[in-house]
Structure 1
Amino acid sequence: MNRDEFHASNLTSQELLQQYAGILGELRARGVIRTLNAPAGDLAETLTARAYRGELAPNSEKSWDVRAADGRLLQVKSRVIAASALSKPIQFSVFRSWDFDAAVFVVIAAESYGVLGAFEVPSEVVSARAGKASWVNGEIVTLSLMGLAALSDCIDVTTRLQNALESLDLPVSLAE
């Protein structure tokens, strides 16, 4: 199929779902994602691993997602939002452990899957900001992008993750 000929509007809902499943399978085969779940979390972890020249944790690891080249353990949290909602609070997935050095919060554009924002925040800063969520047996952080950027010792790593996304189809050695 010619890349220019694909028009989602010409497909039935079932055909769209089949295409989506096929796309997830191809992204998994390429190593961009690790599961066949919605790809945002896997994508954010892959981009973080590339941006930090690190390694992904085994799928069963519950405390961290990426071991950075400098040895630090990073927990990656992501959300997909519409660009029009950037100023609104974003609820990230639950933290059940604090056995990591820093969290990397990645906000992905619903319209394009581009990286809207990415911030590295030390574990102790995240822990101090997190609120108890007994219904999920953990703690949750809810902040806007501006709120994330305002946290103490926060590092804006948006450009690093955007560069990792742009070089996603290059071998890791060439992307560096």
Structure 2
Amino acid sequence: MAGSHPLDELKSQELLALYGGILDELVRREVIRSRNAPAGDLAERLVQDAYDGELAPPSEKSWDVRTPEGLLLQVKCRVVGDSSRPGQYSFFRSWDFDTCVFVTFTREYQLVKATEVPAASIQAIASFSDHVKGSRVTISKISALPPGSIDVTDRIAEAYERLP
């Protein structure tokens, strides 16, 4: 119903300005690193905090977080809506990491699930796309818990609760 939410009254340009301000504040708080759509940066930050790790430099191609033990973690994130279509995570174009933490959020950025999966298990279930020269993995394949998977939802949720 129109007018039922304060944001309904704002013009698109006003919403975008508000969104930009929100992104600025999240960068200032070091919750995200860029002003791109925040899901990927947010997931990386949560994994960094949950594993007490170190973020990779922004242009690193194969991993996102290095743990104190030296494990290289790739982080893949997806925001899901009400669609019945199976979503997929962004493509893998290299396999130079130990494990991947797959993080799924609702549209409102509520944590749905987080799963740690060894690189070898991901390679076994991934589908290669010649068009993009990368391998894709769907949410449903990760939800089926490939061999060696660990549900780390609680661990990521605790990190989320600690954010400023």
In 2, Cα distance between the equivalents of 1:8 and 1:30? 24
In 1, Cα distance between the equivalents of 2:104 and 2:90? 12
Equivalent pairs: percent with the same residue? 52
Equivalence for 2:90 = 93
Give the number of equivalent residue pairs.
Answer: 160
Equivalence for 1:74 = 73
CA RMSD in angstroms, aligned pairs only: 1.6
Shift in Å at residue 13 of structure 1? 1.3
Determine if the alignment matches structure 1 residue 161 to structure 2 residue 156.
Answer: yes
Is the CA contact (8 Å cut-off) linking 1:148 and 1:154 kept in structure 2?
no
Equivalence for 2:114 = 118
Equivalent positions of 1:9-88 (< 5 A) are: 9-82=8-81, 84-85=82-83
Determine if the alignment matches structure 1 residue 135 to structure 2 residue 131.
Answer: yes
Moved over 3 A (4+): none
SS in 2 for 1:44: helix
Shift in Å at residue 89 of structure 1? 2.5
In the superposition, the TM-score normalised over structure 2's length comes to 0.91
In 2, Cα distance between the equivalents of 1:10 and 1:89? 33
SS in 1 for 2:163: coil
Shift in Å at residue 149 of structure 1? 4.3
In 1, Cα distance between the equivalents of 2:67 and 2:144? 21
Gaps in structure 2 of 5+ consecutive residues: none
In the superposition, the TM-score normalised over structure 1's length comes to 0.85
Shift in Å at residue 10 of structure 1? 2.6
In 2, Cα distance between the equivalents of 1:81 and 1:21? 22
In 2, Cα distance between the equivalents of 1:149 and 1:121? 11
Gaps in structure 1 of 5+ consecutive residues: 1-5, 170-176
Equivalence for 2:104 = 107
SS in 2 for 1:119: strand
Shift in Å at residue 7 of structure 1? 2.4
SS in 1 for 2:131: helix
Shift in Å at residue 88 of structure 1? 5.3
